[in-house]
Structure 1
Amino acid sequence: MSLNTIIQPNSDKLKNSLPDRITIAEGDGVGKEIMQATLSILEAAGAQLTYDKIEIGEKMYLNGHTSGISTDAWESLRQNKAFLKGPITTPQGGGYKSLNVTIRKTMGLYANVRPCRAYTPYVQSHFPNMDLVVIRENEEDLYAGIEHQQTPEVVQCLKLVSRPGCERIVRYAFEYARVNGRKKVTCMTKDNIMKHTDGLFHEVFREVAKEYPEITSEHYIIDIGSAHLADNPERFDVIVTLNLYGDIISDITAQVAGSVGLGGSSNIGDHISMFEAIHGSAPDIAGKDIANPSGLLHAACMMLEHLGQNETAAKIMNALLCTLEDGIHTADIASENYTQLRVGTQDFAQAVIKRIGQSPRRFKGITPTAVGDPISIKLKPTLPVKKELKGIDIFLDWTGTERNPDVLGRQLEELAGAELQLKMITNRGVKVYPNGMPETFCTDHWRCRFVSTQYLGKTKNTSATPTAPVTYLQLVQLLSRLHLAGLNFIKTENLYDMNDKRAYSLGQGE
């Protein structure tokens, strides 16, 4: 990681001669060991910090705090604004939500920033010139965690993507590139399949990119983009993507660079920021003094720059580079050719401390970055749209006659009424009525699309499909008829046109 590629510091902190007060949490598993190592290095380097320690994670879950964090801990985060966090474990089983996701969403930490650099030849990697940053949307997408079991056979997870959420992270990525001298921003989505959710992200990316003509912009479908990341990561500079994809590819890039144990990340919000290693709690090696503290140390250096303590951050990073050059390695990065001494967690920290003040010989030394204003994102107001109700998708839990969609279709046509008609039935997204294929496997979960009896249709899928006006009363009356007929509806989705364009997906085969 280069300090030239991390979040810009908060210049207001420099006006305060007192140490920066931060919140720390050791977390679970190896967290206590790597936090102890990291804090010892920060202290030896002269970091101007005071700590408020909070308890989070597995112990809090098991003591009855279902969120994994107490009310007092939340207050500490609000007061101190910066949070250095060790890895945590979410207990297996129902009733527990990821505390990482909870903190990011509750505190508005919308931007996850993960720099990734190769340290060849001292840490083995096939890509010696790899130096990229993954910027991941942190609050939306499937990580909203809204899931339901709807039938005995089918569960769903809602993928929520908002225009403000897309604009904020995309603008952040371009501002980050501009401030840090990066030349290219790459967007990755799956909008060839998810045309409305991922399609919105790509659309916003294209719009924002026009405002930064000096920065090259490009787009990849996430699958081929991930393949390129694994095969030739040196072609990338800044990558911006949705929550789930960013989580996956940031681990890919860290591993391709040499080790997930080296990666740190920042989670940036307008008021509070959190800094953490990207690896997990590794309970299988907890207490054995073999974990690599470098990931949390990287995160701590990102925090120091965020707080305006750039010189201290550079001093620590140069000492870390010297330690790697001298072949002093933990087990996860040890190699036959370049490891001179394999050490544990605390001895690695002492080796870094011993080299504070030294400059690397082979690696390019870190020069403290100039203190600047933090990145500030201003969103454009959302413009009003013309919104017209065009129909409804009603989802049924149905296991009728041999799960025959023709039987269900004929019954629904009789129940549709005078103003509405059944346009299609799908099962797991594939049209099975009318004129479905007998080979299509069907579960007990059916989407039944009703539109106006005056449905006209269009040949172009990108155009709206105009119908006679549909009213909410008609939809309520339809649901009442289905209920009286003994049909178990489990979910509904209204179908709208927005600005005369269809704002819902077609069924496969529709």
Structure 2
Amino acid sequence: MENIKTQQEPKKVTNNEVTKVAVAYGDGIGPEIMDATLRILEAAGANIQPEKIEIGEQVYLSGNSAGIEKSAWETINRNKIILKAPITTPQGKGYKSLNVTLRKSLGLFANVRPVTAYAPYVDTNFAGMDVVIVRENEEDLYAGIEHQQTQDVVQCLKLITRPGCEKIVRYAFEYAKAYGRKKVTCMVKDNIMKLTDGLFHNVFKEIALEYPEIESNSQIIDIGSARLAANPENYDVIVTSNLYGDIISDIAAEIAGSLGMAGSANIGTNVAMFEAIHGSAPDIAGQKIANPSGLLNAAVMLLSHVGKTKIADTIKNAWLTTLEEGYHTADVFQEEITKEIVSTSEFANRIIENLGKVPKKLPLSNLASGNGNIVIPTYKRKKQKQVLVGVDIFINWKGNNPNIIGDALNSINSFKMKLKMITNRGVKVYPDGMKETYCTDHWRCRFVDVNSKIEGQKIYNQVDFEKVIALQSKLHNEGFEIIKTENLYEFDGKRGFSLGQGE
């Protein structure tokens, strides 16, 4: 992660300059591993000046549903760099994920998670594993936009944007180019979600053409996850959307040996946040057995990000040496490998003692030799012709016979709009639906212009928005409960909406 640049490049410093960092001690094991990490940074001469911020469980429980106070935002915006231990979100309704809030509010669009095996000192079946997962960090289902629409049905909106796709895909290729990676793999599910995941995949194919020197391929996320778990050596850089990236990052870290070893960087144009990928582990908090390696590796990425690559190498090599010497926390204990099980603070002490040493068997950290230079251009929207061709009207109806609601809607002749189909849970149930389909109280009713051709080659005529409003008014007056509408558009003549299953 050395010398990373985005369009607005973060200020770089020399190895001797003081770097002010907003530091969140977190919850559970957070304070223990943060203390250990900061001691190592201080001993290595990193010249980090921590400015503590209060976020997480106690802020939530004080009545702040966001989990972060205004003063913390001010500190973050002043320092531009965050080192964050894991936090706990209290169980129950009303608490938004602070991790998601930080990533989205600060524009941290790229979550970068290098995952390396440290065999034989950390047990793994994949000694040669060296994968970087680049995860889109701001949108997808993690936008957290959910609604209960009927008694039986809730929804979560999956938001995928072209600018979001372009930023993260280009970041993945730029990362590969900057650090000598040979291949970028895109993981999507566009065989089912043809518009959302289809957009991500199409952008990937477009941008891949600009990097002919880098091999590119795509995989469906389910088989891709299985292949990653079985043969991680076949992967180099993986780029994917938010939810998929969250899942496969943990898969990769686990098969590499331990979730407790991996750190991550959250990169934006103005702010960057560095954290361990594991949780707050409240079950072992206070027992002094937590492994600080994940947060320490995140701190190494932080040092590289601000230009202190020599110190980053010094710390990483001392950590690797400590692993080789067999001083391990209990979570990575191996009977024939571990020389001594050490506490969190004892592990930090061993690393401090090894500052200046380099590993004999594990690959040497050599971040200072890199010349990473990642530039993400400003998004430029291309003008498209957008034409309204219909509307999906979602109706709350407690019946279970689609012919009854279908015939009732068909009898409504409203301003030259006609019913094209009805789906229930995405499956076409009217006209000519399958009797076996279970129907709940959530009906998608598609209306198009009365002159639209719907047999053979589908041709949708343009619809005036006033007709859509008038149709909704008439349905309401006829006693139908409308819970949601989605306008149907064509963009440059291409359908911008999905067909029903069986349509």
Q: Same fold by TM-score, threshold 0.5 exceeded?
A: yes
What is residue 419 of structure 1 aligned with on the other side?
416
Between stretches 206-215 and 372-381, larger displacement belongs to: 372-381
CA contact (8 A) 2:25 2:85 kept: yes
| Pick aligned residue for 2:480 from 472, 477, 487 | 487
What is residue 327 of structure 1 aligned with on the other side?
326
What is residue 194 of structure 1 aligned with on the other side?
193
Q: 1:502 to 1:380 in 2, by over 3 A?
A: same
Compute the displacement of 1:123 (Å).
0.6
Partner Cα distance (2:90, 2:16) in 1: 42
1:432 aligns with 2:429: yes
Partner Cα distance (2:125, 2:186) in 1: 24
Give 5+ residue unaligned stretches, structure 1.
none
Partner Cα distance (2:151, 2:479) in 1: 18
TM alignment of 1:97-496, pairs within 5 A: 97-370=96-369, 372=371, 374-400=373-399, 403-457=400-454, 459=456, 465-496=458-489
Compute the displacement of 1:16 (Å).
9.2
Give 5+ residue unaligned stretches, structure 2.
none
What is residue 96 of structure 1 aligned with on the other side?
95
Compute the displacement of 1:469 (Å).
2.4
Q: TM-score, normalised by structure 1?
A: 0.96
Partner Cα distance (1:489, 1:398) in 2: 9
Q: Deviations over 1:320-367 (max 9, x none)?
A: 111111111111111122111111211111111111111111112222
Kindly provide the amino acid, as one letter, of the partner of residue 486 in structure 1.
G
For the residue of structure 2 that corresponds to 1:493, the secondary structure is strand
Compute the displacement of 1:119 (Å).
0.3
For the residue of structure 2 that corresponds to 1:369, the secondary structure is helix
1:8 aligns with 2:4: yes
Q: Deviations over 1:438-497 (max 9, x none)?
A: 11011111100001111213646xxxx423321111111111111111211110000011
Compute the displacement of 1:100 (Å).
0.3
Compute the displacement of 1:79 (Å).
0.6
Kindly provide the amino acid, as one letter, of the partner of residue 120 in structure 1.
A
For the residue of structure 2 that corresponds to 1:173, the secondary structure is helix
For the residue of structure 2 that corresponds to 1:490, the secondary structure is strand
Compute the displacement of 1:17 (Å).
5.9
Partner Cα distance (1:364, 1:438) in 2: 62
Q: Deviations over 1:285-324 (max 9, x none)?
A: 1111111100000000000000111111101111111111
Kindly provide the amino acid, as one letter, of the partner of residue 459 in structure 2.
P
CA contact (8 A) 1:8 1:371 kept: no
Between stretches 347-356 and 412-421, larger displacement belongs to: 412-421
Compute the displacement of 1:418 (Å).
4.6
Q: Deviations over 1:136-165 (max 9, x none)?
A: 000010000000000011100000011000
CA contact (8 A) 1:172 1:377 kept: yes
Partner Cα distance (1:115, 1:16) in 2: 23
CA contact (8 A) 2:3 2:371 kept: no
Kindly provide the amino acid, as one letter, of the partner of residue 435 in structure 1.
D
Partner Cα distance (1:270, 1:376) in 2: 10
CA contact (8 A) 1:308 1:371 kept: no
Kindly provide the amino acid, as one letter, of the partner of residue 234 in structure 2.
R
Between stretches 408-417 and 451-460, larger displacement belongs to: 451-460
For the residue of structure 2 that corresponds to 1:318, the secondary structure is helix
Kindly provide the amino acid, as one letter, of the partner of residue 250 in structure 1.
S
Partner Cα distance (2:176, 2:490) in 1: 36
Q: Percent identity?
A: 57
Aligned length: 500
CA contact (8 A) 2:28 2:88 kept: yes
For the residue of structure 1 that corresponds to 2:355, the secondary structure is coil
Partner Cα distance (1:410, 1:33) in 2: 66
Partner Cα distance (1:368, 1:478) in 2: 63
CA contact (8 A) 2:3 2:306 kept: no
Partner Cα distance (1:416, 1:227) in 2: 52
Kindly provide the amino acid, as one letter, of the partner of residue 473 in structure 1.
E
Between stretches 94-103 and 367-376, larger displacement belongs to: 367-376
Partner Cα distance (1:284, 1:7) in 2: 37
Q: 1:196 to 1:207 in 2, by over 3 A?
A: same
CA contact (8 A) 2:14 2:307 kept: no
| Pick aligned residue for 1:498 from 475, 491, 496 | 491
CA contact (8 A) 2:15 2:310 kept: no
Partner Cα distance (1:208, 1:314) in 2: 33
Partner Cα distance (2:158, 2:103) in 1: 17
Partner Cα distance (2:22, 2:231) in 1: 38
CA contact (8 A) 2:415 2:467 kept: no
Partner Cα distance (1:259, 1:310) in 2: 25
Partner Cα distance (2:21, 2:374) in 1: 20
CA contact (8 A) 1:86 1:277 kept: yes
Compute the displacement of 1:375 (Å).
2.0
Partner Cα distance (2:187, 2:3) in 1: 21
Kindly provide the amino acid, as one letter, of the partner of residue 4 in structure 2.
Q
CA contact (8 A) 2:2 2:371 kept: no
Kindly provide the amino acid, as one letter, of the partner of residue 40 in structure 1.
R
What is residue 22 of structure 2 aligned with on the other side?
23
Partner Cα distance (2:342, 2:199) in 1: 48
Indicate the RMSD between aligned Cα atoms, in angstroms: 1.5
What is residue 86 of structure 1 aligned with on the other side?
85
Partner Cα distance (1:459, 1:183) in 2: 45
